[in-house]
A and B are shown apart, each in its own frame.
Chain A
Amino acid sequence: MGTEIGRVRGLGSAGHGAQHWWHQKLTAGTNFLLIVWLLASIATLPSYDHGTVRLWLHSAWAAIPMALLIASVFYHFRLGLQVVIEDYSHKESRFVLTVLVNVFTLATAGTAIFSILKVAFGATA
């Protein structure tokens, strides 16, 4: 069992509870900044045809924050979905769902980062 203070310090079953909570909050802050940037960028784009959007993402001013957004938001929602799974799902399904969330997060994040880099390092036209 341990002492009350030991439990509060995050020494739960895996010893990672406090860190999980804290990273959820840290990424909430970085999400806020990056999501405001994305909404403002989308709202102020002159048009939404392929050429315009691609030229926008080709710029380091868009490619870098977009890559950071993927890192921050995807880490944030992976932490978040894990909490949701642990609230509703128990026994074997909890393990399976947690693995699926990890696979989903890595596959989508990988595709997103590759796409951003391909546009950023591709030819201008």
Chain B
Amino acid sequence: MASKPARPRSPHLFSGPMQLHYRWSPAMTASIVHRATGDGMATIGTLLLVWWLAAIAAGPAAYGVFLDVFTTSTGSLNLLGWIVGVGLTWSVFQHMMSGIRHLVMDTGAAFELKVNQRLALLTFVASTLLTIAFWLFLGNK
């Protein structure tokens, strides 16, 4: 491996300093955001989910510590609660939408340039609308 230095490897992005190898497109954004949201959920999301479950199991005191980190004394979300809450729900919806796009493309469909780019843009529109809908639902309960 080390004896062949300059061979391009996947993912190959740059052909010079600050010079992209390709013209940037929605599909590339969807691709890297799929990776970023997957990694974010797998690390931060996993730790939070496991902490939440362990706190429920450990009892009211441990659960109170969890709530205190993300809420104010009145019980509404604090700044961190909003950032983590909206960030995680958007990540879930975005990864879900681009994941469905992946599965569609695995059937060999939607590789035509126009359809492909439009579907990539659509994942962002859909995930943002779903995130807004989710939080409006919570707020109006």
Q: Which residues of A contact B (CB under 8 A)?
A: 25, 28-29, 31-32, 35, 39, 43, 48, 50-51, 53-54, 57, 66, 74, 77, 80-81, 84, 87, 90-91, 104, 108, 111-112, 114-116, 118-119, 122
| Assembled-state Cα–Cα distance A124/B49 (Å) | 22
Are A28 and B99 CB-contacts (below 8 A) given A35-B92, A77-B42, A80-B38?
Answer: yes
Whether the pair A43, B56 counts as a contact (CB closer than 8 A) is: no
Whether the pair A115, B38 counts as a contact (CB closer than 8 A) is: no
Count contacts between A and B, CB distance < 8 Å: 74
The binding surface of chain B is classed by DSSP as helix
Whether the pair A84, B39 counts as a contact (CB closer than 8 A) is: yes
Question: Which of B54, B57, B99 lies at the interface centre, i.e. has the most chain A CB atoms within 10 A of its CB?
Answer: B57
Return the contact of A50 from the options B10, B49, B64 (Cβ within 8 A): B64
| Assembled-state Cα–Cα distance A122/B54 (Å) | 14
Whether the pair B96, A35 counts as a contact (CB closer than 8 A) is: yes
Q: How many residues of B contact A (CB 8 A)?
A: 34
Shortest distance between the CB of A23 and any CB in chain B (Å): 13
Q: A29-B103, A50-B60 are in contact. List 5 more A-B contacts (CB 8 A).
A: A77-B41, A91-B2, A111-B50, A115-B53, A115-B57
Shortest distance between the CB of A90 and any CB in chain B (Å): 6
20 inter-chain pairs at a CB distance below 8 angstroms, sorted by A residue, are: A25-B106, A32-B100, A35-B92, A35-B96, A39-B89, A39-B92, A54-B56, A66-B53, A74-B46, A77-B38, A80-B38, A87-B10, A87-B11, A104-B46, A108-B47, A111-B53, A112-B53, A112-B54, A115-B56, A119-B56
Whether the pair A28, B102 counts as a contact (CB closer than 8 A) is: yes
Query: What 6 pairs across the A-B complex have the smallest Cβ distances?
Result: A77-B42, A115-B57, A115-B53, A50-B63, A118-B57, A50-B60
Return the contact of A91 from the options B1, B38, B53, B60 (Cβ within 8 A): B1
Shortest distance between the CB of B104 and any CB in chain A (Å): 12
Q: Which residues of B contact A57 (CB under 8 A)?
A: 53, 56
| Assembled-state Cα–Cα distance A43/B138 (Å) | 6
Shortest distance between the CB of A115 and any CB in chain B (Å): 4
> Does B137 lie at the interface of the complex (its beta carbon under 8 Å from any beta carbon of A)?
yes
